[in-house]
Amino acid sequence: MRILITGGAGFIGSHLCDRLLAEGHHVIAMDNLITGHTRNIAHLAGHERFQFIKQDVTEYIYIDGPLDAVMHLASPASPICFDQIPIQILKVGALGTHKALGVARTKKAVFLLASTSEVYGDPLVHPQSEDYWGNVNPIGVRGVYDEAKRFAEAITMAYHRHHGVTTHIVRIFNTYGPRMAAEDGRAIPNFISQAFHGRPLTVHGDGLQTRSFCYVSDLVDGIYRLLMSGVSEPVNIGNPNEMTILELAQLINELTGNQAGIIHRSLPEDDPKVRQPDITRARTLLGWEPTVPLRQGLHQTIDYFRNLDANQ
């Protein structure tokens, strides 16, 4: 297949490029590098089946030649970005998804949308299954991301129903691994960076809010299975192994040997209190489930950040 990946230089996008190339596909990665980075795809430079185009996907997208699939991953996704670049987040979810769908329709290509567990907001149903409609504050600071992705799902389904485009929607839950940006602001890269500097880990609130962390190779495997499937309804991909943020911080201090402990900071607005994917649909329709244990994934992530530090 010849596949366009928007956000191809991002954390997840670049791992997806690797997987698609390993499966023998041709990959065109598109990224404006606002949160993605060329270091994530530097190892692919010169690969005969890989091409990179630096472009903002909210602008008209022109691709020469045929395409079999368009995978729309472009979007800032870190809570820091919700404050700093809210308009770009809304634009890439709305205008960018529209452009990416337009390419898919023109090329008669399959379309896959990277959506998010954030469509469930601060959930009132636990764990979250795909038929839950969510509890989102549209005017809160997180609303720029949540509502952009909800719009993206709506326009994807409209192209599916109205234009007959073959579409897939993956709802990605918290994912971690190598190539996350150290300055990303999310819990795992933040805690690892703080631990490397011998500083206390900043736990927001009492730290009893929960998340369920999925290693990136597991996520990419789920996305690939979804792309190759006939499933058009949204599918949660994430690891149901739920823990509190306090437990996560303690584990990272243990794995890094950080003696500085933990300090508490105020809880950001609308921070979801719980999150755990119900992955029954992924299990039954895609035969998928995560395999990488948290400690192993964290070791690999810690090694990545250690090497990054050493090379800077």
Residue 171 in the binding site for ligand UDP (CB under 6 A): no
Residue 187 in the binding site for ligand UDP (CB under 6 A): yes
- Which of 26, 150, 168, 186 is in the footprint of ligand UDP by CB under 6 A? 186
Residues in contact with 252: Cβ distance below 8 Å, sequence separation at least 6, in sequence order = 188, 191, 192, 195, 201, 258, 298, 302
The dihedral of CA 234, 118, 248, 299: what is its sign?
Answer: positive
Q: What DSSP character marks residue 44? A: G
Residue 204 in the binding site for ligand UDP (CB under 6 A): yes
Can 145 be counted among the known catalytic residues? yes
Q: Which stretch binds ligand UDP (CB under 6 A): 34-42, 123-131, 183-191, 288-296?
A: 183-191
- Which of 200, 268, 289, 300 is in the footprint of ligand UDP by CB under 6 A? 268
Residues in the chain, overall count? 312
Q: Which stretch binds ligand UDP (CB under 6 A): 11-19, 196-204, 253-261, 279-287?
A: 196-204
Residue 163 CB, shortest distance to ligand UDP, in Å, is 32
Look at the block and give the residue holding tokens 């990277």.
114
Residue 296 CB, shortest distance to ligand UDP, in Å, is 19
- Which of 119, 144, 245, 286 is in the footprint of ligand UDP by CB under 6 A? 245
Helix axes 187-196, 294-310, angle to 10 degrees: 50
d(Cα 251, Cα 248) in Å, to the nearest integer?
A: 5
Residue 16's identity, in one-letter code, is L
Residue 126 structure tokens: 């636990």
In three-state secondary structure terms, 25 is coil
- Which of 14, 40, 209, 217 is in the footprint of ligand UDP by CB under 6 A? 209
Contact in structure between 76 and 89 (CB atoms under 8 Å): yes
- Which of 68, 242, 271, 289 is in the footprint of ligand UDP by CB under 6 A? 271
Q: Which of 120, 145, 159, 176 is catalytic?
A: 145
Residue ranges that bind ligand UDP, judged by CB under 6 A: 79, 174, 186-187, 190, 202-204, 209, 211, 245, 268, 271
| Residues with active-site annotation | 145
